[in-house]
Chain A
Amino acid sequence: MSIDISELRVLVVEDSSQSTQLIRLMLNDFGIKQTYFSKDGREALDFLGAADDMVDVVLCDWTMPRLTGLEVLKQLRTVDGEMPFIMVTGTHDLAAVTAAKAAGVTSFIAKPFSKEVLRKKLESVWKFRQAKLLAS
């Protein structure tokens, strides 16, 4: 029942190199080859602005030094309302979740997360993407 998600292209926005390391390992395990990593929200937005058709989903940390994950989401949504955006957060703050939902977040992953949880999220994204392709 496992879905092949190796074709998925993922942009990871994460300031912590440890977390980045961990996620990279997990994505490798899923067979995902096309991964992009950014430590900075601004840099990520620039990348998306230039190459948003190279990415199927954005995994973004909630707390980052310059631009927060929410700000990245908000800015992204001004130009791209459909890009799946998964917020990786360590807190289960209702206000934060509400704000993110209002800003158009696609889904959340609570830290710490297991490899399986991430896989489920990405499988959902893959299916969503396929369904969208079908719809178009």
Chain B
Amino acid sequence: MDQENKYFGPIADVMQLSSDLFIIVQENRIFWLNDTALRALKFSEIGEIVGKPISGLFMPPYSDMLESIIEESVEGKTAVSAMLRRSDNTSVDTRLTVTELAADGSKRLLFAGQDLTAQKLAAQAITDQATYLDLILRNAGEAIIIYDVDGTMRWVNPKAEELFGYTGVEMLGRNISILATSDSTAQAAPEAEQPRALASGSLFLGEVSGEAFKGRTKVGEDKYFAVTVTRMLRGTRTQYVALLSDITEQRIAEAKRRQSEQRYAAVVAASSDWFWETGPELTITNIVGNAQGRKWVRPSTFLGPTLADVLAKAEGGENPRKIDPKTILEERRPFRDITIRLQTASGDEIWVRISGAPSYDDDRRFLGYSGSASDITERRKIGTRLEQTQEQLATALDSITEGLAIFDNRDRLILCNKRFARMLGPLGSMAVAGTQFEKIVRKRLAQEKANGSPINDIEAQVGARMQRHNAPGKPFEEKALDGRWMKVSEFRTAAGGYVGVYSEVTAQKAAEASLKRSMALLSAVVDNSPLSIALKDEAGCYVLMSHHYESAKGISKAEALGKTEAELFPGATGRANYSEDIEVINSRTAREVESRSSSGGKSRIEHIIKFPIIDAGGDVIGIGEVRSDVTAVRATEDQMQNSQRLESLGQLAGGIAHDFNNILMIIGGFTQHAIRLLPEDSPARPPLSEVTTATTRAGALTKQMLVFSRRQVAENSVIPVGNSLNALSGLLKPLLGETIELDINSGPSEARIFADEAQFGQVITNMILNARDAMPNGGTISVSSALITADDEFVARHPTAERITYVKIAISDQGVGMDEATLKRIFEPFFTTKEAGKGTGLGLAMAYGFVTRNKGVIAVSSVVDGGTTFELYLPLTSQSADASAAGAVIDRAAAAGKGETVLLAEDEPAVRKLVTATLQELGYKVLVASCGFEALELEGEHEGRIDLLLSDVVMPDLGGFELAASIQKSRPETKILLMSGYPARGLADTRGKGSTYTVLAKPVDFDALARAIRRSLDSPANPDAERNKQASEEAAAA
């Protein structure tokens, strides 16, 4: 480039100074271009482009139209629009004129044009200018040295290094006087004016222009230079800039200049700038310029006035040194970029930027000033608009609630709003143009650390932040110094800058955190809830569910969340559940259902509540669902209901039985009495015997009722179940008929229960007979016994069961079976499926009462037409069978009285009379009392022995047990026999007494009474222990 510079000399300098693009083409190849062009085309080095075909520099279709462009432009001297190709393949808009540089006969073309893009980007130009200047200084043909007032060199350009033979390092910091010879003054340009600055004794101190100077290189070679020194104020500091050019070189350049005067004119003509000249008296004598586009400006505007007049119109703004133009001109100083405002003939105002320098002839005579001027009206307008726009922008930016900052491509802050400054808190002063982004980050982190944030390595954090900054991605959150949380969104601009948008999310963040907390809490509560809970959103999608819910539904959170039931369960049930959800949402009302399902042979009942979740605003925001397994509860409830029903029926039956027994006793007793009074051959005997038989049957019936109601007096003994079943089979076989087979499997011999054997026999008999009745066409009845230890499942199935060993007695038939409804009522008294008159409806009721009373369990299973199985579970007893318990038959004679005295206490007159008559008939002396007190009176008054107290258990004034206890106190030898139509209560009343008595159940038939009295009287004085124990257990059971 230096070569070319040398070749073109000052023209090249002018071209370099110009803001226009200049491209010189030789043989259709690029020969040279100025820096403006280089920059506009985005090349960093001229070498990158020189030698390449010119057509490649044009974007299509201009590349194809090149010839016509050249032709049109050269011939018509008009500017044509063209798009040039940049190194990065983007385009730049230009207006070009093409000039043939014909002076030296070479086929050279000069393309001159304006970068229209550059004009539009006025703001960018500021940066550009700095780069431009730097570039110029570095690559200038003159040596440029910047030094302090004391001569210390601060900056040198490569040319200075070259001319003086020092490296930059060797020069910087040293005094500029090293570059001077001792006789600089004497020998420097003797033909020129004395340089004042040198005359003063200090090198270059003070401004000089074009003075001759003799310098010395590092190797001691003397050189002559023309030197221009400009004073520069940097803040409060004064520095000087010296431009030194080798005079020999200048001479060559001058020659070149003369040679190419024509070219010079052509260049001038091609430029959008004007070029002007003055005479030595400073009157503007010549103005040339491209009138293109501004024909309204007549060059004559400038003709006539002196340069001083023109400069007097300078606007201060762009003349930072504020040096009076007059002084500049008087001192023959060059000036640059002085803006002046002019009035055109049409009255419009235009702004012109003018630069100029004095010119001398070879004999250093002042010829006048020459320079360039360019119309910057448009640029100014753009600038003003830009300023206004920027102002509006700033106002707008300040008024938005988000923090906003714009950085340039070197990460310097260009613009920010107040909000951004506030975000920086105490570092708000950094929010000024020019601050480096990284600096802000570093300071902010340091401040945070000072504020107590746990930051260990600030640099690492800066690095992390910068990494994020350099490759902006998703918005992220950051805590600002004022404690607010910000969402930071960063964008890269097309020009390589960066825009940061900071929106405050403190409240959002707090809400999020609190939401997070409540969700976590809710989640924990739900998770750990023993219930099956789920929450769904307003679309029916799962949001939350408890562990129990997962297992209840057989789903997992992972698969279920975010899905509806219809999506999770593709079947009809899923759809139904989903539409239920939607109904709950739409109707805003809760739904409560009980759902039955069965899987793996187990049926399950679930209680499901679905309810709408309504927020404070009254909107339905979801559904809550709570499920509970109520299978066991329902089963227990059913069983409870059943037992309660049976219990109340039992009470009713018991109540009736009590009164009924008294009546039966009277009927039966008196009938028997009457029979005994009649002669053997009396015709009244047979009918009366029928009455007795009927009374006995009625007695048996009430007995069953009492067993069912568990009020029957039980004479418990140890029953070997197997033996008992075998004995029964013998008795029952004749009753079953030929078509029925009875298959008894008596089971293990240790299967023993403690119960009333008569009742047990009755129960088994009833059930076998029921089985027979269920098989009208014959079949097999299987009866078996076995030992079963209750496990959890058994206890769950039978809530009244305990975890003990039971003797299980199963009775199965192959009969018609029963339906569900029948099964439910099967144990109710008087419930029968048999024809009227065939059954009493008490058989199974009795079985139920018997089993329940003995703390057992009864179960039935049946299939219609598939047979029925009854299972009785009775607690296994460890006692061994008591042989003596087998009742010995006492004949009537043995039962007769032997003249003993019996005190009878009975409040019911009829019974009293009957029993009195019976006792007298049996040969006893009877003391008759109608109440407890009377009995005590009689006992007190009776002088002789009282052998037996026969008392009703229930009397209005005094109970039989109390009476008995009272009498036994004064007469311990007296035996006691109690009677009761309501024996259970009587037994219960033995509490706290320690004594136990035998209680006869009413109605008591003659023989039974006779035997009982006889047995009591014949028993030893102290009741045997076994009987005592049995009785206590009876009492406890009741």
Contact = CB atoms under 8 A, between A and B. Distances in A.
B937 interface: yes
A102 B940 CA distance: 24
Interface string B954-966: 0001110111011
Contact of B965 (A82, A107, A120, A131): A131
A123 B959 CA distance: 18
Contact of B993 (A107, A123, A127, A134): A134
A123 B958 contact: no
A3 interface: yes
A3 B970 CA distance: 9
B932 interface: yes
B970 A1 contact: yes
Contacts of B970: 1, 3, 127
Interface string B936-968: 110111000000000000000111011101100
A106 interface: yes
B959 to A, nearest CB: 6
Interface residues of B, number: 20
Given A1-B970, A3-B970, A84-B933, A131 B941 contact: no
Contacts of A127: 936, 940, 966, 969-970
A132 B939 CA distance: 16
Nearest to B989: A135
B958 A131 contact: yes
Contacts of A135: 958-959, 961-962, 989
Contact of B966 (A82, A84, A107, A128): A128
Contacts, number: 49
Given A82-B957, A107-B933, A131 B963 contact: yes
Interface string A111-136: 00000000011011001101110110
B937 A107 contact: yes
Contacts of A130: 966, 969
Nearest to B992: A134
7 nearest A-B pairs in the assembled complex, by CB-CB distance: A131-B962, A131-B966, A135-B962, A124-B937, A124-B936, A124-B940, A127-B966
A108 B832 CA distance: 56
Contacts of B959: 135
B993 to A, nearest CB: 7
Contacts of B989: 135
B958 A128 contact: yes
B933 A128 contact: yes
A121 B938 CA distance: 10
Contacts of A124: 933, 936-937, 939-940
Interface of A: 1, 3, 82, 84, 106-107, 120-121, 123-124, 127-128, 130-132, 134-135
B944 to A, nearest CB: 12
23 contacts: A82-B957, A107-B933, A107-B934, A120-B937, A120-B940, A120-B941, A124-B936, A124-B937, A124-B939, A127-B936, A127-B970, A128-B936, A128-B966, A130-B966, A130-B969, A131-B932, A131-B936, A131-B958, A131-B962, A132-B962, A135-B958, A135-B962, A135-B989
Contacts of A107: 933-934, 937
A107 B957 CA distance: 13
Most buried by B among A3, A82, A128, A135: A128
B937 A121 contact: yes
Contacts of A131: 932, 936, 958, 962-963, 965-966
Interface string B8-43: 000000000000000000000000000000000000
B928 to A, nearest CB: 15
A136 B970 CA distance: 20
Main secondary structure of the interface of B (DSSP, over half): helix
A107 B993 CA distance: 28
Contacts of B941: 120
B209 to A, nearest CB: 142
A2 to B, nearest CB: 10
A130 B993 CA distance: 13
Q: A3, A107, A131, A135: which has the most chain B beta carbons within 10 Å? A: A131
B903 to A, nearest CB: 13
A50 to B, nearest CB: 25
Given A1-B970, A107-B937, A135-B962, A128 B993 contact: no
Contacts of A121: 937
A120 B940 CA distance: 6
A135 B933 CA distance: 14
B817 to A, nearest CB: 52
B958 A132 contact: yes
Contacts of B939: 124
Interface string B545-571: 000000000000000000000000000
B933 A134 contact: no
A136 B941 CA distance: 26
A115 to B, nearest CB: 15
Contacts of B993: 134
B142 to A, nearest CB: 138
Nearest to A130: B966
A3 B939 CA distance: 13
Contacts of B958: 128, 131-132, 135
A131 B964 CA distance: 9
B988 to A, nearest CB: 12
A21 to B, nearest CB: 26
A131 B966 CA distance: 6
B770 to A, nearest CB: 44
Contacts of A82: 957
Given A130-B969, A132-B962, 16 more contacts: A1-B970, A3-B970, A106-B933, A107-B934, A121-B937, A124-B933, A124-B936, A124-B937, A124-B940, A127-B940, A127-B966, A128-B932, A131-B962, A131-B963, A135-B959, A135-B962
A85 to B, nearest CB: 10
A45 B993 CA distance: 36
B957 A134 contact: no
Contacts of B932: 128, 131
A118 to B, nearest CB: 12
Interface string B344-359: 0000000000000000
Contacts of B966: 127-128, 130-131, 134
Contacts of A123: 940
A41 to B, nearest CB: 23
Nearest to A82: B957
Contacts of B962: 131-132, 134-135
A112 to B, nearest CB: 17
A104 to B, nearest CB: 9
